[in-house]
Chain A
Amino acid sequence: MAEVRPDEVSAILRKQLAGFEKETDVYDVGTVLQVGDGVARVYGLTKALMSELVEFPHGVFGMVLNLEEDNVGCILFGESSKIKEGDTVKRTGRVASMPVGENMLGRVINPLGQPLDGRGPIQTDKFLPIERKALGVIERQPVKEPLQTGIKAIDGMIPIGRGQRELIIGDRQTGKTAVALDAIINQKFTHTEQSKKIGIKPVYCIYVAIGQKSSTVAQVVDKLQLEGAMEYTTVIAATASDPAPMQFIAPYSGATLGEFFRDSGRHALVVYDDLSKQAQSYRQVSLLLRRPPGREAYPGDVFYLHSRLLERASKLSEALGGGSLTALPVIETQAGDVSAYIPTNVISITDGQIYLEPGLFNSGVRPAINVGISVSRVGGNAQIKAMKKVAGRLRLELAQYRELEAFARFGSDLDKATLQQLRRGSRLVELLKQGQYQPMTVEKQVVSLFAGTNGYFDEIPIEHVQRYEREMLEMLELKHPTLLVSIAEKKELTEDILTKLNGVLKEFTNVFKVSVKA
């Protein structure tokens, strides 16, 4: 660094002072009546607006959440221990907002947009309010492009479209976060030149961690970095040690950042992990503000809390640039109880759910998706034709398999057709197993599922199914790369591709059978 001479410094200071005018500041103030547990009651501030940002001493900011006859209820975004009774509170005149911009990508921030990763300030030139009204009917269009998660079971049977809201629900330790992370990691391919060529637009990701352990968040960030996914991802963290108000606004910040990408004609994916914790922190804040408790002590507007958040996910009309914001909310259930208050609320708000079961997880089916009760209400329109063709039969065959599975337990003699169905089903279940952080491109998924539903696996012993799949895909990549590319480009299974595929698979199966016997 060059040496700085004192006279230079004073010259700079003088220049800055030159434009300084003596001005009288006008602001509105109030007095803290009561403070504690992240909320404060303020006397005065009679002109304060709902959800306006207010400034407490020591640089602590708060947000107005309750307007009452003679006082104002605020939530604090900083340490409430620094504030004491009688402190002066100033209005700022703006609603709670956060900075947004491309520079947020690759960073870890708190819900107010301040960096947490120790990599210095983030240069942005735009501020957007944290609470924004969702778009109306005119601004939207139906979901039509796929959002590939790279997980066979999801992309095949529970497809997610860009602009959809798909709930990931399940008990603790069933792999909810893993599914969400896989979806983020798989967006890497949308940022490649190859995707650009076949018309797949890049998806920017936002991972909102609410009430999680800081160590877990650090692990997630580490993993995303390792997989090269941080380049197009922002992590918004409100950890368990952050005040409840922070955890409560975190998902709204995530939606705001996502909307920035959406409104500029791009595509964004935001994961809220998880909303049950957010509901709990909202319950805490509400009870402290003396709002009346309802079912499970949640306040009456806890449904609106989630519906207004998830309603912000949308697919914009072409006139507005055609951008999209996809939401993947996560809900943790207690002992599989999906009929608890918050889970039923969020199930009814979203366009479908992915249900993860501990039973399946423990029996080695991972991802532990219960295909029977997982649905996607709009994603079907977004599936590519090739996938629709192979996956339609997959769902049906798995349903039949589950029905027959109970009988098979008795081991009594079954007719040939039933045995065949059982054999097919068990192999499909095996085929749908997939390792974590191993997303698969859509063309490979199509080939795998095609082989499964067309019986190429039927003769293969169950323990060899995964090896068959792996080697088959390797073989295709090495010997017939054009086949995979043509599926990806045409997005459907033409007669030409079908004949070629059948031929290749037949040949490979024969070779593989020999290796099994050996």
Chain B
Amino acid sequence: MKNTRVARRYAMALMTAAREQNNIEGTAKDMEFVGKTLDESREFRLLVASPVVSSPRKREVFKEVFGPRVGRETMTFINLLTSKSREAILHDVAQQFKELHDEKLGIVNVEVRTTVEFNEAQEKELRTQLERMEGKKVRFQFVIDKTIKGGIVIRIGDTVYDGSVSRQLERMRERFIAGRAA
């Protein structure tokens, strides 16, 4: 998290380059793949972050892992990061790039916490409501969380809309305490 500022700079540079090449969609797909690969393999993450492994070795590994699957520009970008000894932020860059891309397309990420899974009709209803409220397209991330006991918690960026049962109970408790003091 502490590298967000650097990562954002690199992500913006990559975005500009992709725009010049008219290949934003392709780059976005590539970066998503990079992020996913790093997400999936702990060993790979450790290798990338390790200061013991030399840059040329890492470059070889990157070439083997990503080479056949990503575009030439993306590969160049990864090589650039490696030569600047910034390969450790690759994961952050992928994330930042995704955020930049979403911003551009007008998509907001929404985290939805419920105790039970949503069915399609409910999801559609929620989507239309939220899209009207935010004026943007919504991408859902559903989380099943039993600790909220019921209801729904929606988080858009920093703002939380808390309609959970656990929060209601908490408020009820506060009310009883306040009632006693008065």
Which residues of A are interface residues toward B (Cβ below 8 A)? 13, 16-17, 20, 22-30, 33, 43-47, 69-70, 121
Contacts and interface: CB of A to CB of B under 8 A. Distances in A.
A24 B162 contact: yes
A70 B1 CA distance: 10
A29 B158 contact: yes
B61 interface: no
B179 A46 contact: no
A70 B157 contact: no
Interface residues of B, number: 20
B124 interface: no
B159 A121 contact: no
27 contacts: A16-B176, A16-B179, A20-B172, A20-B175, A22-B168, A23-B171, A24-B161, A24-B162, A25-B160, A25-B161, A25-B171, A26-B160, A26-B162, A27-B159, A27-B162, A28-B158, A28-B159, A29-B158, A29-B159, A30-B158, A33-B1, A33-B2, A43-B1, A44-B158, A46-B157, A46-B158, A70-B5
B5 A29 contact: no
Interface of B: 1-2, 4-5, 155, 157-163, 167-168, 171-172, 175-176, 179, 181
Contacts of B157: 46
A45 to B, nearest CB: 6
A85 to B, nearest CB: 9
A26 B156 CA distance: 11
A24 B163 contact: yes
Contacts, number: 47
A24 B175 CA distance: 16
A173 to B, nearest CB: 45
B5 A26 contact: no
B83 to A, nearest CB: 26
B74 to A, nearest CB: 25
Contacts of A13: 176
Contacts of B168: 22-23
B161 A47 contact: no
A25 B4 contact: no
A16 B175 contact: yes
Contact of A27 (B160, B171, B175, B181): B160
Contacts of B171: 23, 25
A70 B5 CA distance: 7
Contacts of A29: 155, 158-160
A28 B162 CA distance: 10
Nearest to A25: B162
A26 B181 CA distance: 26
A107 B38 CA distance: 59
B5 A69 contact: yes
A13 B168 CA distance: 16
Given A25-B171, A29-B160, A121-B181, 12 more contacts: A13-B176, A20-B172, A25-B161, A25-B162, A26-B160, A26-B161, A26-B162, A27-B162, A28-B160, A29-B159, A33-B2, A46-B157
Query: Which of A13, A27, A45 lies at the interface centre, i.e. has the most chain B CB atoms within 10 A of its CB?
Result: A27
Nearest to A121: B181
Contacts of A27: 159-160, 162
A23 B171 CA distance: 10
Nearest to B159: A28
B11 to A, nearest CB: 13
